[in-house]
Structure formats: structure tokens, C-alpha cells
């Protein structure tokens, strides 16, 4: 086993230089709640937020007026009388808010938290799912074409068919 000497205050301007170079290059510092958002083939949205060391009881997911809000809190394990040598992990409350489109089904949203990752699943609204519409011909035959979903109350109700 090798021992490496750790001298956290050897170069006091090192962290400042790193932050200044990030600002100059337009790079942002990592957030307290980094996340990935992706959409699967069936239209379902998935959000995965990294929350290592967060007490599951402090995690909160809410939906209000088309906005999804994720909240969590990480508290330090050291006390007020402990001498902190290095504290790089973000502590405190974290909040991320995402705007949801009209094509999401917020009534059936689910969330689970395991292994330090919060996974939120937002299914696509049934109104936005493509479906087939039957078109009746004047002679009584029928054919099927693809169309976007329209709510039944908004759907045109015409019995006239196309001549074919």
C-alpha cells in the first residue's frame, strides 16, 4: 500500500483558476442535481437525476401548471464541531424544474428512487398517440389511412364518402 501526502491548501489559487477557465470557455460547473432526459419509442419521457447521498424521505416530485419540480436535500454527515478539511460535495436543498409539453400524461406520472438515482417516467398522452381512422367510400367499401389522434368531441362527423 502506498501513502500519498494530501496538501489541500498547497495552491490556494488552483480552484479559482479552474472556475475562471470554465467561465471563459462557457462551461458550467456541475449542478447539485445533474439529470438526463430522454424519450423512448413509445413516446414516454424518462428523467434520471443523480442524487447520491440524499435521504429518500427528502426527495419530492410535484407537477403543477405544466411544470415538473424535483426537490431533494443532502445534509452533511459532519457536525459543527468537526474540522472540515475538504468539502467538495454539494450540500443543502436542490431544485430542478422542467416545463412539460401538452403531449404528456401527468396523471399517470411515476417516480422511484434507487441507488442514488431518481427515475421519473412520464407517459405520452393518449391524445397524441397516432391511430388509424376508417374512411368509408360512397359505394359502401372502406379503407384505412393513418391520422393523428383528435379528441372525439373535436372530430368531424361527416357521413359523406369520397367517390372512388
Q: Are residues 134 and 121 in the same domain?
A: no
Q: Tell whether 107 is covered by a domain.
A: yes
CA dist., res. 97 & res. 37, Å (int): 12
Q: For residue 148, give its domain range.
A: 130-164
For 141, residues 6+ apart whose C-beta sits below 8 A from its C-beta are 164
Q: Tens digits of per-residue pLDDT, 101-113?
A: 888 888 999 999 9
Q: Tell whether 3 is covered by a domain.
A: no
Q: Are residues 151 and 97 in the same domain?
A: no
Q: Which residues in the chain land under pLDDT 70? A: 1-31, 128-131, 139-164
Q: Are residues 146 and 88 in the same domain?
A: no
Q: Are residues 76 and 101 in the same domain?
A: yes
Q: Are residues 91 and 115 in the same domain?
A: yes
Cell numbers given for 113: 428512487
Tally of helices (H runs) and strands (E runs) in the chain: 1, 9
Q: Tell whether 80 is covered by a domain.
A: yes
Q: Are residues 109 and 142 in the same domain?
A: no
Check which CATH number belongs to the domain holding 87 and give it. Answer: 2.60.40.790
Q: Are residues 57 and 94 in the same domain?
A: yes
- Beta strands of 34-123 (E only): which ranges? 35-39, 45-50, 60-64, 67-74, 92-99, 110-114, 117-122
Amino acid at each position: 500500500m502506498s501513502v500519498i501526502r494530501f496538501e489541500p491548501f498547497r495552491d490556494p489559487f488552483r480552484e479559482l483558476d479552474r472556475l475562471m477557465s470554465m467561465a471563459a470557455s462557457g462551461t458550467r460547473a456541475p449542478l447539485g442535481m445533474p439529470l438526463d432526459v430522454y424519450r423512448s419509442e413509445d413516446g414516454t419521457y424518462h428523467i434520471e437525476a443523480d442524487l447520491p447521498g440524499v435521504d429518500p424521505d427528502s426527495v419530492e416530485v410535484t407537477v403543477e401548471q405544466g411544470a415538473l419540480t424535483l426537490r431533494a436535500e443532502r445534509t452533511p454527515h459532519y457536525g459543527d464541531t468537526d474540522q472540515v478539511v475538504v468539502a467538495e460535495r454539494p450540500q443543502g436543498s436542490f431544485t430542478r424544474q422542467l416545463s412539460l409539453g401538452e403531449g404528456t400524461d401527468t396523471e399517470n406520472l411515476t417516480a422511484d428512487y434507487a441507488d442514488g438515482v431518481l427515475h421519473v417516467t412520464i407517459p405520452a398522452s393518449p391524445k397524441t398517440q397516432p391511430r388509424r381512422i376508417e374512411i368509408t367510400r360512397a359505394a359502401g367499401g372502406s379503407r384505412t389511412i393513418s391520422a393523428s389522434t383528435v379528441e372525439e368531441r373535436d372530430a368531424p362527423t361527416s357521413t359523406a364518402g369520397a367517390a372512388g
